[in-house]
Structure 1
Amino acid sequence: MLANDSFQLASDALSESHGRVSELARPFLRFLPVSGASVSTFGSLLGSETMSATDALAGRVDELQFDLGEGPCWDALASKRPVLESDLGTRTDVSWPAFLQEIRKEPIGAIFAFPLLFGPLEIGAVDLYSATPVSLSPQQQEQTQALTAIISRILLHHALNEADTPGETTTFSRRSIHQATGMVLAQLDTTAEDAHLIIRARAYAENRPMLAVAEDVIARKIRFSPLAEPGEDTQ
């Protein structure tokens, strides 16, 4: 099948998804030499959540970046340009050393991130990984960006519709983290940013995913208490 035909099939598949966010990542596998893909929202506009992932490893790539607060998806959105790492095994001069250290434990040879933008709005990113080192041609990069424009529009519509109607919950949903953040915020009378940081620090200290810690907070297996004032007794 010709490359342009593969891309057209991917574009058609995206159009035929009828806005189902769980189906947004799969079309990239139709025309790119990659093993997996994910679509995520993050930042102040829509919050951090993996909306679609083709497999568990693609979801893991997102989870690591969210938990560590660094990685190609963050760089792609900040720069509004694709981040293209065709051979992770040879790279050392990257701005995300913690993510690189962790991702090298996985069977991933290359990783790419494309920002999701809608005009001035920063929506999130598409992450793509290959089990072996591989490059994307200029045409493939251009085609990927064409699909990300469609996805950005779909995600924005989804977020606006969800404000009135409960939306689709995905396999890789991180809504538990949002809920747990609210609970920690109330427990400690702090800001949402600091509550999120406290959950992240607990996950780091226990070498667990943030999602697992968040679920324990919701289940009340973990509860955070304010520090006692000097001279105050603690129980």
Structure 2
Amino acid sequence: MSEARFAAALAALSQPHDGSGSLTEPILDVIPVTGASVSTLGDLFGSETVEASDAVIGRIDELQFDLGEGPCWDAISVGEPVLEPDLSTPIRTWSAFADALHREHEIGALFAFPVSVGSLRLGAVDLYNEEPMRLDGVAIDRLLVLSGLLGRRVLERAIRLSGDADTGISRHGRRLIHQATGFVIAQLGVSADDASQLIRAHAFAKGQSMEEVAQQILDRTLTFTVSGARIEGDA
């Protein structure tokens, strides 16, 4: 696991994502597993696979979405990696997912890492290996760093899919958004850029303008909080 490959992965995932580059290839260049996926989970962006390196990991995601259980759900719930290094032994948790997985595929190891922006958990990185394997401390630390970078790339994707949402915003509207951004920074502990993107993503998810969402935040009819795996708008 060379420093050069990790540096290259950091550089690749630190760049704004325009949809043309891979999100999983940098991970596979660093971690010697068979496959990897990036997914969103929860209410804000819905539960879907953003990218899967192969059909097997894509199916693993689908099973977890359909059954509502599995390592990705646990990773986003607790905000920590979930590691299953040897699936040849019975899995005591996620019985429905484990049964479905064993019926369809012979997987040796399965791992999930939370994808977050600040305290807001957006989804997960899932990795599988055909043979049992353990991730050492260095691999875990590097995956945590890469998963953190992926949080911003997932946000950018949501903004890109929403279109140019801030076109035509008035000076007054931009002032409202700027003020609301400060509220979100305080609520979630994120950067100004991330807070602005979250406002835009919430507007897209709710079919509203950024100005409308900003006004709700300033009126305190919308408060961003993190509860388990979800972002919630509380009155």
Number of the residue aligned with 1:131: 130
Unaligned ranges ≥5, structure 1: 167-235
- 1:33–1:134 contact (8 Å) kept in structure 2: no
- After superposition, the Cα gap between the structure-2 partners of 1:117 and 1:124, relative to the gap in structure 1 and judged at 3 Å, is same
Distance in 2 separating the partners of 1:148 and 1:68: 24
Matched, 1:101 2:99: yes
Distance in 2 separating the partners of 1:76 and 1:103: 18
* Structure 1 runs of 4+ with >4 Å offset: none
Number of the residue aligned with 1:116: 115
Number of the residue aligned with 1:38: 37
- 2:17–2:156 contact (8 Å) kept in structure 1: no
Number of the residue aligned with 2:83: 84
TM-score, reference length from structure 1:
0.65
Distance in 2 separating the partners of 1:99 and 1:66: 10
Q: Secondary structure at the match of 1:117?
A: strand
Tell me the amino acid that sits aligned with residue 97 of structure 2. Answer: F
- After superposition, the Cα gap between the structure-2 partners of 1:36 and 1:49, relative to the gap in structure 1 and judged at 3 Å, is same
Tell me the amino acid that sits aligned with residue 86 of structure 1. Answer: P
Distance in 2 separating the partners of 1:8 and 1:90: 35
CA apart distance, 1:69 = 0.8
Residues 45-64 of structure 1 mapped to structure 2, 5 A cutoff: 45-64=44-63
- After superposition, the Cα gap between the structure-2 partners of 1:129 and 1:22, relative to the gap in structure 1 and judged at 3 Å, is farther
Q: How many residues align?
A: 164
Residues 145-156 of structure 1 mapped to structure 2, 5 A cutoff: 145-156=144-155
The superposition leaves residues 6-29 of structure 1 with CA deviations (integer Å, 9 ceiling, x where unpaired) of 212222333457342771112111
Q: What is the aligned-residue RMSD (CA, Å)?
A: 1.9
- After superposition, the Cα gap between the structure-2 partners of 1:39 and 1:55, relative to the gap in structure 1 and judged at 3 Å, is same
- After superposition, the Cα gap between the structure-2 partners of 1:72 and 1:21, relative to the gap in structure 1 and judged at 3 Å, is farther
Q: Secondary structure at the match of 1:89?
A: coil
Tell me the amino acid that sits aligned with residue 36 of structure 1. Answer: G
The superposition leaves residues 13-61 of structure 1 with CA deviations (integer Å, 9 ceiling, x where unpaired) of 3345734277111211111121000000010111111001101111011
User: Percent of pairs identical after alignment?
Assistant: 45
- 2:16–2:153 contact (8 Å) kept in structure 1: no
Number of the residue aligned with 2:227: none
- After superposition, the Cα gap between the structure-2 partners of 1:146 and 1:19, relative to the gap in structure 1 and judged at 3 Å, is farther
- After superposition, the Cα gap between the structure-2 partners of 1:99 and 1:21, relative to the gap in structure 1 and judged at 3 Å, is farther
Distance in 2 separating the partners of 1:16 and 1:121: 21
Distance in 2 separating the partners of 1:13 and 1:103: 32
- 2:13–2:153 contact (8 Å) kept in structure 1: no
TM-score, reference length from structure 2:
0.65
